[in-house]
């Protein structure tokens, strides 16, 4: 690994890791660098799921975030590039044992150092305190110190991995919430969102990948001269949704409840087993919200989010929860009180099918991709 990366500023922080804006010193390319600390088996399992999903495609899809490289931090001053097509065995062992592997590296005398050196120059402490992206305390510029050079080492014995660094393509338009809610509604842009994300999910499902946490926060936007490109990201909860039995593909069923409340399918809410069709429901919630600019404020936050729901008295009820409680509930699409141009009848019919309480009544990802194109064309006449 001969590239040199600089961490320029923090752009996102979640329960499992931190994302930095960075740059390759060799090419000047701007990248997003995700730092994932390997502190317990549960976190490590999520990281491996994300890494496996991102490395599965032989070719990148325009509407799925691209992974450039992955680095294993095996010590305070050493990084090791991950070989393509392989998962780090120490991390797999940690997940299988239910405890973080304590394997240590061989003595320094037995180490073989490669000629290539990777430095991760950290400039996050040199940011101005006024930076809108900075969410951690900053040292005064005059006292800023550069972290020691991190080198790529090869060891004859396994080392404990303390951190995974994922180097991904950088999206300058923020997430779907930030991008769409910062500008007036535009029918052409709305249709572009629906078509691009349908294509992305069809691509993932054809690879046997179920995302399990599709929501506007997990869709990033790359602004280009030809228009915005919407990209599915964050594969921490993803799973492989198909397996082979006697040479034939068989759809897997899952039972763990995961995802975000306002986008979860009824069967997930109810604790039933579910398939990749749960992703189709999540897309339906997103598409309805995008097309009519339906937003909500999650309890305890001031962050406005795109998402459809059912009003129950003074409370907002997620669609999945409402349909689990009453599978015969009639959804009103479009929303009558909305002032913007509603989606046409073909798109409304498609949304109702995507939001069916019965997962078998929803279109598959391939069917959805083709139906979206037909519905948009039909409603544009």
The torsion of the CA quartet 348, 354, 355, 359, rounded to 10 degrees, works out to: 150
| Alpha helices (H) along the chain | 41-55, 89-97, 176-181, 187-206, 266-269, 277-292, 319-325, 345-354, 365-379
- Residue 379 CA, chain-centre distance (Å), reads 31
8 Å CB contact between 41 and 97: yes
8 Å CB contact between 359 and 267: yes
> Distance between CA 150 and CA 119 in Å, rounded?
5
In the block, residue with structure tokens 């069709």: 277
213 is catalytic: yes
User: How many CA atoms are closer than 13 Å to the CA of 284, on its beta-carbon side?
Assistant: 31
**DSSP character at residue 319:** H
Q: Active-site residue among 213, 217, 234, 279? A: 213
Q: Which residues are catalytic?
A: 213
């Amino acid at each position: 690994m001969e590239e040199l990366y600089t961490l320029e500023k923090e752009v996102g922080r979640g329960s499992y890791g931190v994302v930095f804006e960075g740059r390759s010193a060799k090419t000047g390319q701007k990248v997003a660098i995700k730092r994932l600390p390997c502190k317990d088996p549960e976190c490590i399992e999520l990281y491996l799921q994300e890494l496996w999903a991102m490395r599965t495609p032989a070719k990148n899809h325009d509407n799925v975030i691209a992974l450039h490289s992955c680095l294993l931090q095996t010590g305070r001053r050493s990084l090791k590039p991950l070989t393509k097509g392989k998962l780090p065995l120490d991390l797999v062992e940690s997940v299988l044992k239910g405890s973080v592997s304590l394997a240590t590296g061989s003595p320094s005398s037995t180490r073989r150092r490669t000629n290539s050196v990777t430095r991760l120059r950290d400039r996050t402490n040199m940011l101005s305190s006024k930076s809108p992206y900075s969410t951690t305390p900053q040292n005064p510029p005059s006292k800023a110190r550069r972290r020691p050079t991190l080198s790529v080492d090869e060891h004859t014995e396994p080392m404990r991995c303390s951190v995974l660094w994922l180097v991904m393509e950088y999206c300058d338009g923020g997430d779907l919430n930030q991008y769409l809610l910062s500008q007036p509604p535009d029918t052409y842009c709305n249709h572009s969102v629906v078509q691009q994300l349908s294509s992305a999910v069809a691509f993932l499902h054809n690879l046997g990948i179920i995302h399990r946490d599709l929501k506007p926060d997990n869709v990033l936007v790359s602004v280009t001269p030809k228009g915005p490109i919407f990209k599915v990201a964050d594969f921490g909860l993803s799973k492989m949704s198909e397996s082979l039995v006697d040479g034939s593909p068989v759809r897997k069923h899952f039972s763990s409840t995961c995802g975000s409340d306002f986008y979860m399918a009824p069967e997930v809410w109810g604790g039933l087993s579910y398939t990749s069709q749960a992703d189709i429901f999540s897309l339906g919630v997103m598409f309805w919200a995008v097309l009519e600019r339906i937003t909500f404020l999650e309890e305890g936050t001031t962050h406005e989010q795109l998402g459809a729901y059912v009003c129950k008295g003074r409370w907002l009820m997620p669609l999945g929860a409402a349909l689990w409680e009453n599978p015969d509930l009639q959804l009103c699409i479009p929303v009558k009180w909305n002032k913007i141009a509603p989606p046409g009848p073909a798109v409304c019919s498609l949304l109702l099918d995507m939001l069916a309480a019965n997962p078998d009544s929803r279109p598959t990802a391939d069917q959805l991709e083709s139906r979206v194109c037909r519905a948009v064309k039909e409603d544009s006449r």
